[in-house]
């Protein structure tokens, strides 16, 4: 028990330190005086972040990208999972065709050239489309449908004259509430945290997600005076603005990771169900 308590402390303390540092006075943070609780509690960092328009614009971008990409990914994965759970000629070949990209890929350069040639370079649509379907999530969905929904129910709908589209929409989809929630959590967290796609394919800063903007903030241990002054225009000098910007970095971490943490905490039980689904053969 003591061992796991130490492990928990090692994992949680850096997160706790970020939280208390974001509410502390900048000079106390720079002097290393913040250890167990906020030093001279202040909201100066959050006030500075509120003035940084680029961060909030990217924050809105992330919400749009996450909602759009998650909705598209869940819809495509459910439809593909239904198709893969059915029996059809050449199913073994299709399974192999889908599984190969799970272990091998063409690499970054061919992917970049392809996206550029089809007009998706520097296009925000690439963030929504790229990685639309996770093969692992597709396998989980296929297993869930094959093991949870009776095949006789689908066959009965087909005998009554229902097409595959009608059968999926009226029979299968209403019974896929659990796997739909699992996919929403998986795709939602992954899409919110994704910054690599925008880093490689999107050059225009107006289309950057919040994770990429936060990366730019964290990459500068000492921010330039112009950016710092933009974050905290009320600072008397550029030096003071830069010091305030040091605390703003902690605030940016909390604000950018908050939605993903809230989503995980509210739907944590579906993560467990997703793991159990993936442990079944199918």
Mean pLDDT over 55-81 rounds to 93
Assign 53 a pLDDT band (cuts: 50, 70, 90).
confident
Average pLDDT, the chain: 82
More confident residue, 31 or 121: 121
Structure tokens belonging to residue 158: 């087909």
**Once rounded to an integer, what is the mean pLDDT over residues 38-47?**
81
Residue 241 has pLDDT above 70, yes or no: no
- pLDDT (0 to 100) of residue 96: 86
Question: What is the structure's pLDDT at 22?
Answer: 85
Helix 177-193 to helix 53-85 angle, to the nearest 10 degrees? 140
What pLDDT digit, counting tens, does each position of 181-229 carry? Answer: 889 988 998 999 898 999 999 998 889 999 888 877 776 544 554 555 5
**Which pLDDT score is estimated for 225?**
47
High-pLDDT (> 90) share of the chain, %: 17
- H or E stretch at 274: helix 268-278
Q: What pLDDT, on the 0 to 100 scale, is given for residue 228?
A: 55
Q: Which pLDDT does position 232 carry in this prediction?
A: 54
Q: Does the structure show a pLDDT above 70 at 271?
A: no
201-219 in b/e form (b: 16+ CB < 10 A) is: bbeeeebbbbbbbbbbbee
pLDDT attached to residue 62: 93
Stated pTM of the model: 0.81
pLDDT per position as a tens digit, 16-39: 888 888 888 877 887 778 888 888
Confidence of residue 123 (pLDDT cuts 50, 70, 90): very high
Cα–Cα–Cα angle for 244, 245, 249, rounded to 5 degrees: 125
Give the distance between the most distant pair of CA atoms in the chain: 77
Q: Where are the domains of the chain?
A: 1-42, 53-278
Give pLDDT, residue 221: 46
Superfamily name with CATH number, domain 53-278: MetI-like (1.10.3720.10)
Answer whether 231's CB lies under 8 Å from 160's CB: no
Q: Give every CB contact of residue 40 below 8 A, 6+ residues apart in sequence.
A: 24, 25, 28
At 102, the pLDDT band (50, 70, 90 cuts) reads confident
Q: Which residue has the higher pLDDT, 239 or 146?
A: 146
Q: Which residue has the tokens 């990771």?
A: 257
Q: How far apart are CA 145 and CA 151, in angstroms?
A: 9
- Predicted pLDDT of residue 35: 82
């Amino acid at each position: 028990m003591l061992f796991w308590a130490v492990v928990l402390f090692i994992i949680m303390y850096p997160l706790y330190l970020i939280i208390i540092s974001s509410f502390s006075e900048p000079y106390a943070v720079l002097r290393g005086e913040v250890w167990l609780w906020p030093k001279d509690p202040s909201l100066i960092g959050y006030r500075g972040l509120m003035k940084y328009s680029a961060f909030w614009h990217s924050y809105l971008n992330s919400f749009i990208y996450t909602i759009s990409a998650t909705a598209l990914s869940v819809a495509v994965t459910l439809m593909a999972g239904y198709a893969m759970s059915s029996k059809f000629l050449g199913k073994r070949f299709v399974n192999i065709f889908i599984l190969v990209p799970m272990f091998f890929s063409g690499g970054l350069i061919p992917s970049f050239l392809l996206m550029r040639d089809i007009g998706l370079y520097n296009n925000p649509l690439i963030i929504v489309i790229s990685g639309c379907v996770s093969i692992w999530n597709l396998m989980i969905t296929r297993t869930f449908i094959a093991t949870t929904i009776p095949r006789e129910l689908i066959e009965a709908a087909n005998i009554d004259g229902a097409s595959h589209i009608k059968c999926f929409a009226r029979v299968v989809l209403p019974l896929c509430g659990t796997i739909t929630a699992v996919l929403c959590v998986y795709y939602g967290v992954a899409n919110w945290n994704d910054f690599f796609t925008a880093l490689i394919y999107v050059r225009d800063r107006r289309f950057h997600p919040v994770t990429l903007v936060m990366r730019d903030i964290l990459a500068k241990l000492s921010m330039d005076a112009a950016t710092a002054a933009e974050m905290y225009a009320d600072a008397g000098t550029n030096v003071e603005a830069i010091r305030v910007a040091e605390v703003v970095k902690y605030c940016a971490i909390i604000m950018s990771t908050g939605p993903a943490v809230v989503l995980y905490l509210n739907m944590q039980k579906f993560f467990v169900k997703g793991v159990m689904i993936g442990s079944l053969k199918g």
